[in-house]
Amino acid sequence: MAVGEIREKFSIYSDSVGNEMGTIGIGETGIVIKMASGENFVVPYDYVKSIESKGEITLGKKTAIIIFYDVMGDRHELAFMAPEMKLAGLRKACGKE
Protein backbone atom coordinates (compact mmCIF):
# COMPACT_ATOMS: atom_id res chain seq x y z
CA MET A 1 0.00 0.00 0.00
CA ALA A 2 1.42 3.40 -0.97
CA VAL A 3 0.52 6.89 0.21
CA GLY A 4 1.82 8.78 -2.82
CA GLU A 5 4.68 11.24 -2.79
CA ILE A 6 5.95 12.15 0.68
CA ARG A 7 5.52 15.93 1.00
CA GLU A 8 7.04 16.33 4.45
CA LYS A 9 9.04 14.17 6.83
CA PHE A 10 9.98 14.85 10.45
CA SER A 11 11.68 13.08 13.34
CA ILE A 12 9.83 11.87 16.41
CA TYR A 13 11.50 11.52 19.81
CA SER A 14 11.07 9.27 22.82
CA ASP A 15 12.15 11.86 25.41
CA SER A 16 13.04 15.51 25.94
CA VAL A 17 16.77 14.73 25.66
CA GLY A 18 16.28 14.16 21.92
CA ASN A 19 16.55 10.40 21.53
CA GLU A 20 15.09 9.80 18.07
CA MET A 21 12.60 6.95 17.90
CA GLY A 22 11.73 7.27 14.23
CA THR A 23 10.19 9.47 11.55
CA ILE A 24 6.75 10.33 10.23
CA GLY A 25 6.31 11.08 6.54
CA ILE A 26 3.22 12.95 5.35
CA GLY A 27 2.09 11.72 1.93
CA GLU A 28 -0.70 12.52 -0.51
CA THR A 29 -3.14 9.92 0.86
CA GLY A 30 -1.64 8.89 4.22
CA ILE A 31 1.35 8.78 6.52
CA VAL A 32 4.39 6.53 6.80
CA ILE A 33 5.71 5.84 10.29
CA LYS A 34 9.25 4.41 10.35
CA MET A 35 10.49 3.36 13.75
CA ALA A 36 14.19 3.13 14.65
CA SER A 37 13.44 -0.44 15.81
CA GLY A 38 12.74 -1.37 12.18
CA GLU A 39 8.96 -1.50 12.49
CA ASN A 40 7.16 0.46 9.74
CA PHE A 41 3.53 1.44 9.23
CA VAL A 42 1.81 2.76 6.11
CA VAL A 43 -1.39 4.40 7.31
CA PRO A 44 -4.08 5.92 5.04
CA TYR A 45 -5.52 9.13 6.51
CA ASP A 46 -8.90 7.52 7.17
CA TYR A 47 -7.18 4.85 9.34
CA VAL A 48 -5.96 7.54 11.79
CA LYS A 49 -8.41 7.65 14.70
CA SER A 50 -6.90 10.52 16.70
CA ILE A 51 -3.85 12.68 17.36
CA GLU A 52 -3.81 14.14 20.86
CA SER A 53 -1.30 16.59 22.34
CA LYS A 54 -0.56 15.81 25.97
CA GLY A 55 1.56 18.82 26.94
CA GLU A 56 4.52 21.00 26.09
CA ILE A 57 7.90 19.67 27.10
CA THR A 58 10.55 22.18 26.04
CA LEU A 59 11.47 24.53 23.22
CA GLY A 60 8.18 24.15 21.36
CA LYS A 61 8.11 20.35 21.52
CA LYS A 62 4.96 18.59 22.62
CA THR A 63 4.14 15.10 23.77
CA ALA A 64 1.52 13.48 21.55
CA ILE A 65 -0.31 10.21 21.09
CA ILE A 66 -1.46 8.99 17.68
CA ILE A 67 -3.98 6.16 17.50
CA PHE A 68 -4.30 4.38 14.18
CA TYR A 69 -5.24 1.06 12.59
CA ASP A 70 -3.10 -0.97 10.22
CA VAL A 71 -4.43 -2.66 7.09
CA MET A 72 -5.13 -5.84 9.09
CA GLY A 73 -7.42 -3.88 11.44
CA ASP A 74 -5.06 -3.98 14.43
CA ARG A 75 -5.14 -0.89 16.66
CA HIS A 76 -1.86 0.87 17.45
CA GLU A 77 -1.13 3.65 19.91
CA LEU A 78 2.15 5.54 19.60
CA ALA A 79 3.35 8.10 22.16
CA PHE A 80 6.09 10.45 20.97
CA MET A 81 7.47 13.99 21.12
CA ALA A 82 7.74 16.35 18.15
CA PRO A 83 7.80 20.08 17.43
CA GLU A 84 4.34 21.67 17.78
CA MET A 85 4.56 23.05 14.22
CA LYS A 86 5.06 19.52 12.84
CA LEU A 87 2.19 18.15 14.96
CA ALA A 88 -0.10 20.88 13.62
CA GLY A 89 0.80 19.89 10.03
CA LEU A 90 0.20 16.21 10.83
CA ARG A 91 -3.20 16.96 12.38
CA LYS A 92 -4.21 19.07 9.38
CA ALA A 93 -3.11 16.41 6.87
CA CYS A 94 -5.05 13.70 8.75
CA GLY A 95 -8.15 15.87 9.15
CA LYS A 96 -7.83 15.87 12.95
CA GLU A 97 -7.56 19.63 13.58
Beta bridge partners of 43: 31
Contact residues for 41 (Cβ-Cβ < 8 A; gap 6+): 32, 33, 68, 70, 76
Kindly give the confidence (pLDDT) of every residue in the chain, 97 residues in length, as a single tens digit, with 9 standing for 90 and above.
688 899 999 999 998 788 999 999 999 999 999 999 999 999 999 999 999 988 877 778 899 999 999 888 899 999 999 999 999 999 999 999 8
Compute the CA torsion angle 47, 65, 83, 62 (nearest 10 deg). Answer: 160
- What is the CATH class of 8-94? mainly beta
User: The pTM is what?
Assistant: 0.90
Question: What's the pLDDT at 15?
Answer: 85
Question: What's the pLDDT at 91?
Answer: 95
Ranges of each domain in the chain? 8-94
Question: What's the pLDDT at 85?
Answer: 92
